[in-house]
Amino acid sequence: MGAELRAIRARIRSITSTAKITRAQELIASSRIPKARQRLDSARPYAMEITRAASILVSHDIHLDHALLNRRPDTSRVAVLLMSSDRGFCGGFNNNVLRQGDALAALLSGQGKEPVFYLAGRKAVDFYRFRHRRSERDWVGLSDHPSYEVAAEIGQTLVEAFDRPTREGGVGEVHVVFTEFVSMLTQQTRVRRILPLELEEMEIGGGAEGSAPGPLPPYEFEPAAGSVLDPLLRQYVRGRIWSMLLESSAAEHAARRQAMMSATENAHELIGALTRRANSARQAEITTELTEIVSGAEALSRPDGAE
């Protein structure tokens, strides 16, 4: 009985230490979420404006032929960028991204396309290395606080791969698997094709809310629309990557906070259950000791020769 009580108390001490760690992780994640959301909210107007500028530019020259806009005839090789985290303790955040990446790879393979993986985040890199899967390029150390320089490097790498013919190691499409920040309690894994570009029609004009969109403003391009379109579309790709990195970063912190909060609550529930078991074991031990004392006293009080 004493050994069981000691084992239960040792386990309570271990779980208490774990609960302190998970609580600390929860507080750290909670402190990082507002800054991550602020960076995300600050980047959204830029993403909207560069999309607006690209849409206006393309709409003024509908016959313009550009590699980043037109569907490539050869899509035998397709790039897939996976955005994971650099650290764990974030629930199913990384698992959802990796599972969605595997599903996308299976879909592309079923269409006769070879997926080529680009990895952002140490968890995805470790996952592929452990399983001896090949990746074309990887980036680590960016999920907690993404920088635009790294986003520009990723975008440039993907654009260069898209510009090369597939027979020379290039790709015909580029897909991104990332996690979208919806709310503090909801994060959704998304798959987006960013190359070749698919620019959507946007309502541009100065009308009141709910009114019909106004006409597109007139523009004149010097020296030519083509010379403006090329750098703008490349900047557009970098902006999309930057926005997705910020989305994934905010979603990661929210997922870690939620996971650590659940872990802390579960630890406290387990401590309560073990405490009740320890109390029951202690009460049983005390009862046994009292029974032994009473039995001994009775044995000593009996006359000699009495049964």
Q: For the residues 194-222, what does the mean pLDDT come to?
A: 57
Q: How far apart are CA 174 and CA 113, in angstroms?
A: 12
**Domains of the chain, start order:** 26-199+219-260 (3.40.1380.10)
Above 70 in pLDDT, residue 61? Answer: no
Q: For the residues 32-47, what does the mean pLDDT come to?
A: 90
Above 60 in pLDDT, residue 200? Answer: no
Beta bridge partners of 175: 80, 193
pLDDT in tens, 227-279: 777 788 888 889 889 999 999 999 999 999 999 999 999 999 999 999 999 88
Above 60 in pLDDT, residue 143? Answer: yes
Q: Please state the pTM of the whole predicted model.
A: 0.82
Q: Name the helix (H) or strand (E) containing 217.
A: none
Predicted pLDDT of residue 215:
57
76 vs 126, higher pLDDT: 126
User: What sign results for the dihedral spanned by CA atoms 39, 40, 44, 47?
Assistant: positive
Beta bridge partners of 120: 83, 139
Q: What percent of the chain has pLDDT over 70?
A: 83
Q: For the residues 7-25, what does the mean pLDDT come to?
A: 94
Beta strands per DSSP E along the chain: 77-83, 114-120, 137-139, 173-181, 187-195
- Residue 285, phi then psi, degrees to nearest 5: -65, -40
